[in-house]
Structure 1
Amino acid sequence: MVVLAIGAGVFSLLQSLIAPVLPTIQQELHTSQNTATWVLTAYLLSASIFTPVLGRVGDMVGKRRTLVAVLTALAVGLLLAALAPTIELLILARAVQGAGGAVFPLAYGIIRDEFPRARVAGAISTLSAIIAAGGGLGVILAGPIVSTLGMRWLFWLPMVTVLVTALAAHRFVPESPVRTPGRINWAATLLLSGWLVALLLGVSQGTSWGWGSPAVLTLFAVAVVLLGLWVRLEMRSANPLIDMRMMRLPAVWTTNAVAFLFGAAMFAAWAFIPQLAQTPPSQGYGFGASVSQAGLLMLPMLVAMFIVGILSGRMAPFFSFRAQLAAGSVLSAVACAVLAVAHDRAWEVAVGGGLLGLGIGLAYATMTNLVVEAVPVTQTSVASGMNANIRTIGGSIGAGVMSSLVTAQLGIAGLPLEAGYTTGFATFAVISIVAAGAALLVPRVRKAELQPAAA
């Protein structure tokens, strides 16, 4: 459990560790702002492809073997990033690091294969809490690391940790006895990669290129066409990469719908709470906080999501995963509403963040548990990988929409007006309410089935 938690936690940390220091990367590598954002985009695109594909590989050839390979690739990517003399090599290194996204589904699959059934739900909840907290912890750690050690240590420190984790995985994690016969469907892999890249590239560049620009509209059209071809191929294939019958299971598609909507609200808040805090008070709002100070404002969120995430599996016999998911979405809606109307003082933002942390902690743990319980043991990794991917897609779209709403009107020195944040957070409060409604569509699980899963 320790090995899996460290591996997944480090990759989750890397998702948010770089975003706050993009201006520093831009300055040190002498590049433009648009080029520097590709450090994030390359990581996102790579992870979206590798997460489900390598999850499927792990189900086929062995999860421990695949986990060690994935951690090794992540360490290589971190080494390349730490040594990168140019922005082009740094972007390439981040693309290599994206292979680490498969740590999530592989870890969930190993837990289901190796742990006693009575401990599976609690272990998945704990791992989900660590992943969620890691995603926010990067915002807090980025500033102190850069100010004390320098930008390169954002990669050196995780690299050492990942290498030790890979060795520990090889030594202590047993090879999973559950295997799924088959081979990789390369045509399906290419189509999956194609529509994910087209969709996420269009979303990530929509703000800078223009949402109505020919390039963005073309990317969206390509994504729709390739998505249709991919679904058709998978439905007809005797050896699908992603089994569409599994994706159509009521518990799976409803949970994935919530993941998409909840991910949009979650990533929008994560990305823009620090930006709001860093806005100078001369704009009529904001606190003029540094990167480190803005990160500390996220601390209540991290503490709340970690504690609630760990408790989620243990509450299941009394408070079902379905009910927890709906409650998490409602808490997210309340948090976004609070942030929309009350952000004049730091403690108000901290309260809103804490409420959001409660919602994230519940939702992260329950979504994974609901999907894992619903699919055959031979498809655990690929199913949880697709759930993580759908959450990421929702998050990318949410961050893009939030960015458009916040920057729709600019004031002094080109900074957003306060109304943009109010509109943005209010919009995602509504989206979170829709997510709560979708959570109620998740099929009920009988209490007798929950008792052995989360005792």
Structure 2
Amino acid sequence: MSSTDRRTDYRVTFLVLCVGVSSFSLLQSMVNPVLPTIEAALDTDQATVTWVLTAYLLSASVFTPIIGRIGDKVGKERMLVAALTALTIGSLMAALAPSIGVLIAARAVQGIGGGVLPLTFGIIRDEFPREKVAGAVGTSAALLAVGGGVGLVVAGPLVNALSYHWLFWVPMVMTALAAIAAAVWVPESPERTPGRINVGSALLLSAWLVALLLGVSQGASWGWSSGRVLALFVAAAVLLPVWVVAETRSDAPLIDMRMMRIPTVWTVNLVALLFGMGMYSMFAFLPQFLQTPEFTGYGFGVTVTVSGLLLLPQTAATFLAGVFSGRLAARFGSKAVLVAGAALTSLGTLGLTVAHDHLWQVVVETTVLGLAFGLAFAAMSNLVVDAVPQTQTGVASGMNANIRTVGGALGGAVLASVVTSGARPDGLPVEAGYTHGFGVLVVTSALAALVALFVPVIRARTHRIVDEEQGEAVPVHPVAAPAAAPAAQPAGAHRA
């Protein structure tokens, strides 16, 4: 029996999707706390070992929207299996890597799995009952942040008990099982976007993203005024508008610029950029802050394992907020949930800026941040999914996830520069570096909340236009409305 002849219970599909998203999100953060361990084990230096993170970031940024778009065209279920297979192969390569070069290559292969995110949102929209879509998107979106927190928690104990290789063996098993389950139980997509894949657009998108993110991620080590970094920024500044013009004129664009100009889409993407700066920076720098020796006068001197455990309440709060975000969105609207999430982020980062002398203060403040992350991630995903045609769900949510990643790279680079701007004689940052860094994130999260106030609310209906070339009616995006009613999801042909 073919997969098109059967419709798996949406709850089984959701379980498979959650395993895939969780595996990808674990791989985003598990490696961060143990880079010094990997550096020593593979006999390399700090500048080289950072490419373990950079290669993953670049690969995920390039492939997330591309795989989302391919899924819209050839089938989301097929591409979900392909993305999970890439994660499995990359994890196997990393677990067995005999050298730093092989490990870096393995991380680039893992980054292809970033397509799991937009494919997950698209499958949920295609397969779930309309009233279940917001909650399912919210939960799966929150799992991305939850996985990031869990990765920080389990990395230390896993490495101490076994070895750093198990940071890749565990996700490998999860993604392999998820790939098999997806092939067996996830139905083929009922929605397809006709046309070819625009290879030229994909190359241009890859080029400007790599130039921008490589310059940002390597600016601190290469020097912000170095010729290499400046050349990368100039290349990104030139290639980005070239890509936009090429997409606008293309008969088969990779990213539909009309979709990107939808008011809800571009405002939510701007929120995602600002929000990503805060969230990913917190994942990177909070463990360092907690592990700073006590003799500095501000650090707590905890181990990698303890610092992860201290962030466990944040992870739990993120998950709970994601689970309940659907109900909140149904009652108050996704826009209100997004504003609340961004405002809570401002509150949490403000708390870290002015009160970080005791561990209980940090735990309370990071728990508030966890609630904020869960609410905002869920709301952003729901708003984007609701705002675009069903045939563009994958690429739209892929770009939103990608823009969060770009924001994270920018925020991490900015925070690194601020935190390390005034170093002690022993090389450790001074307290003011962290204080000023947290203050920067207060500003970015406040700006995110401000932009969120201007996100248009979506009417619970779509318009239809006549495609001049094909002479048939095709759905286009919902239009903005001043009404404050919560966003609703158009029913798919194969929903319950």
Provide TM-score, normalisation by structure 2.
0.90
Name 1:409's counterpart in structure 2.
Answer: 422
Q: Which residue in 1 is equivalent to 2:235?
A: 222
Which residue in the other structure is 1:26 paired with?
A: 39
Aligned to 1:144: 157
- Counterpart-to-counterpart distance in 2, 1:125 and 1:329: 15
CA displacement at 1:429 relative to structure 2 = 0.2
Could you tell me which of 329, 337, 340 is aligned with 1:327?
A: 340
Tell me if 1:364 matches 2:401.
no
Instruction: Map residues 173-184 of structure 1 onto 2, 5 A cutoff.
Output: 173-184=186-197
**TM-score normalised over the length of structure 1:** 0.98
Residue number among 172, 188, 192 corresponding to 2:201 in the alignment: 188
Q: 1:400 and 2:413 equivalent?
A: yes
Question: In the aligned structure 2, how far is the partner of 1:299 from the partner of 1:249?
Answer: 38
* Structure 1 residue 316 displacement after superposition: 1.5
What is the Cα deviation at residue 447 of structure 1? 5.5
Query: What residue is the counterpart of 1:50 in the other structure?
Result: 63
Which of 445, 450, 453 is the aligned partner of 2:487? Answer: 450
Alpha-carbon contact 1:195-1:223 (below 8 Å) kept: yes
Cα offset, 1:296, TM superposition: 1.0
1:170-194 per-residue CA deviation (whole Å, 9 max, x = no partner) reads: 1110001110011111111111000
Q: 2-side partners of 1:45 and 1:387: how far apart?
A: 16
Partner residue, 2:477: none
Partner of 2:311: 298
Question: Closer, same or farther in 2 for the Cα pair 1:436/1:448, shift >3 Å?
Answer: closer
| Contact 1:10/1:158 (8 A) holds in 2 | yes
Q: Does residue 378 of structure 1 match 2:415?
A: no
Q: Deviations over 1:116-145 (max 9, x none)?
A: 111111110111122210111101110011
Deviation at 1:452, TM superposition (A): 6.5
Gaps of 5+ in 1: none
Deviations 1:222-245 (A, max 9, x none): 001010100000001110000000
Q: Distance in 2 between matches of 1:91 and 1:115?
A: 38
Equivalent residue in structure 1 for 2:284, among 244, 265, 271: 271
How far apart, in 1, do the equivalents of 2:450 and 2:195 lie? 38
Counterpart of 1:84, as a letter, is: A
The question of whether the paired residues in 2 share the 8 Å contact of 1:331 and 1:355 is answered with yes
Query: In the alignment, is residue 197 of structure 1 matched against residue 234 of structure 2?
Result: no
Tell me which residue corresponds to 1:171.
184
TM alignment of 1:59-74, pairs within 5 A: 59-74=72-87
**Deviation by residue 1:307-335 (Cα, 9 ceiling, x = unmatched):** 01111111123221111111111111111
Give the aligned partner of residue 12 of structure 1. 25
- Is 1:317 the equivalent of 2:330? yes
Q: Percent identity?
A: 59
Report the Cα offset of residue 71 of structure 1: 0.8
Residue aligning to 1:390: 403
- Structure 2: gaps (5+ residues): 1-13, 459-482, 492-496
CA deviation profile, 1:300-359 (whole Å, cap 9, x unmatched): 211111101111111123221111111111111111111111111111111110111111
Distance (Å, rounded) in 1 between the aligned partners of 2:316 and 2:129: 28
In the alignment, what sits opposite 1:207? 220
Could you say which structure has the larger radius of gyration?
A: 2
Partner residue of 1:244 out of 253, 257, 268: 257
Q: d(CA) in 1 for partners of 2:331 and 2:179?
A: 37
Shift of 1:444: 2.2
**Against the structure 1 CA distance between its residues 136 and 453, is the aligned structure 2 distance closer, same or farther, given a 3 Å change threshold?**
farther
Give distance in 1, aligned partners of 2:106 and 2:76. 24
2:15 paired residue number: 2
Judge conservation of contact 1:306–1:361 (CA < 8 Å) in 2.
yes
Name the residue aligned to 1:76.
89
Distance 1:198 1:147, change over 3 A: same
Higher share of residues assigned helix: 1
Asked whether the equivalents of residues 10 and 162 of structure 1 are also in contact (C-alpha less than 8 Å), the reply is yes
In structure 2, how many angstroms separate the alpha carbons of the residues matched to 1:436 and 1:30? Answer: 45
